[in-house]
Amino acid sequence: MHRIPVVLLAACGVGLGCASAPPGASEAPLAGPSWDFKHGDLKVSESRRFLVHADGAPFFWLGDTAWELFHRLTREEAERYLENRRQRGFTVIQAVALAEFDGLNEPNAYGHKPLAGNDPATPDVKDGPQNDYWDHVDWVVAKAREKGLYVGFLPTWGDKVVKMWGIGPVVFTVESARAYGRFLGARYKGAPNVVWILGGDRPPKEKGVDATELWRAMAAGLKEGDGGRHLKTYHPMGGCTSAQWFHADDWLDFNMLQSGHNAKDLPNYRKIEADYNRQPPKPCLDGEPRYEDHPVDWKPAKGWFDDYDVRQAAYWALFAGAFGHTYGCHDIWQFWTPARKPISAARTEWTAAAELPGAWDMLHVRRLMLSRPFLTRVPDPSVIAGDAGSGADHARATRDASGAYAFVYLPTGKSVTVDLAKISGGKAKAWWFDPRTGEAKAIGEYPAEGTKEFDPPGEPGRGNDWVLVLDDATNGFAAPGIVK
């Protein structure tokens, strides 16, 4: 059972990683800003597999979907949410300017709407501070910066471009998309904590509608406004990836897919594999996997996704080659309260949902990934000797390209046989890393040759997931999850 989060002594410091967490303090909040912007703006790494800062320091995308953040929350509520996510080590908050739930015609918490006459070419901007919709967006972006959080900034939800379903209305033309992009780019040119995410849960092509040039125009407008300072990607609908339409486009800096909410044990690693193997290479990640506290396939009768489901999606994607990952909670993306009609059977008021265990588990993901060399990591299923299993049992492996370490995710705690020759240095030091608590236990040291079977603690079954960590013993790494 997951422990109830409590505020303990600070376990993490300001910077790219976090300091050693004392035993038993696996859910101590992160201290200080979640990420350090002093390393400069983000760019794509030389290997084209990761995002790094201007000085080459690695960036780990740990996102949360807060789609209705700008639209539904007061400043006090927004700060409460952002502080909660800072404590849990998130680095990116994904939010939408022209929101899904009648974001054009339903005012924000202060009675303001984003556009004059629903025309994207004429944002409703008034002189003076804190007296229009965009002043509120400015405040949230600035507050996120203060807390060391990037904003994965969606200019609009996709139903304003290609409706398919939802409220809409469709309001964009190619011309107004470029003008709107130029407005946003110029307004947030000075913000170091913005990444543009076009798309908004819709494909650019559907039932005779082709909006690919419209999205390209918006991307061009953003670049005209911010001088190309901020990276860009595209958030597609469930089961799709930005690469399907825009992989060859220069403006698309990295690929984002949405594995979606259709089923438990959804093999999102296959979609990551496909994007990872595309040429020319671009970084990739799952920007919307199954959400915690979301009904499976939107049907409560099928059950609900829980903390195990979000852990499984994260480790599967990362070990398949993703440069980062996005968590989501069904109650939080819509900021549900009993005063609002729930979307797809939301059941937990958002401030309570912010305490669900899956978000704490993402902090453990971050600490593990940053506790070993980051930019040399490659997916390598061959670390697993023999059958990696299927369905919920599917094991996944990643390693350092030179053999300094390897991680193997075992989603149901079944034993695994690994190829120790994948580890350099002549001797492999093995650990069990607990994804539920972030704690690590040394197993022993073994010759880095041949194969060996490892049997995780506990009884095999759903929820008893583990990460086997194999280190080159000569490197003297700290315990997995300890970031110096």
Q: What are phi and psi of 196, to 5 degrees?
A: -80, 135
Radius of gyration of the chain from its Cα atoms, rounded to whole angstroms: 22
**Distance, CA of 118 to CA of 139 (rounded, Å):** 22
Tell me, letter by letter, the H, E, C secondary structure of 323-349: CCEEECEHHHHCCCCCCCCCCCCCCCC
Beta strands 194-198 and 232-234 are parallel
Name the nearest CA neighbour of 418 among 386, 372, 380, 374: 386
Q: End-to-end distance of the chain based on CA atoms, in angstroms?
A: 29
Specify the pLDDT at position 484: 81
For residues 316 and 345, the answer to whether their CB atoms sit within 8 Å is: no
Could you tell me how far CA 217 lies from the centroid of its own chain?
A: 26
Helices 307-319 and 357-370 pack at an angle, to 10 degrees, of: 20
Nearest to 448 by CA among 422, 477, 430, 411: 422
Buried/exposed code over 442-465 (b: 16+ C-beta within 10 A; e: otherwise): ebeebebeeebebebeeeeebbbb
Tell me what pLDDT residue 300 has: 97
H or E element at residue 151: strand 150-156
Domain architecture of the chain: domains with CATH: 40-370 (3.20.20.80), 377-475 (2.60.40)
Amino acid at residue number 322: A
Per-position pLDDT tens, the chain of length 484: 333 332 222 333 333 333 333 333 357 899 999 999 999 999 999 999 999 999 999 999 999 999 999 999 999 999 999 999 999 999 999 999 999 999 999 999 999 999 999 999 999 999 998 899 999 999 999 999 999 999 999 999 999 999 888 899 999 999 999 999 999 999 999 999 999 999 999 999 988 899 999 999 999 999 999 999 999 999 999 999 999 999 999 999 999 999 999 999 999 999 999 999 999 999 999 999 999 999 999 999 999 999 999 999 999 999 999 999 999 999 999 999 999 999 999 999 999 999 999 999 999 999 999 999 999 999 999 999 989 999 999 999 999 999 999 999 999 999 999 999 999 999 999 999 999 999 999 999 999 999 999 999 999 999 999 999 999 999 999 999 999 8
> Could you give the CA distance from residue 262 to residue 114 in angstroms, rounded to a whole number?
33
Query: Model's pTM, two decimal places?
Result: 0.94
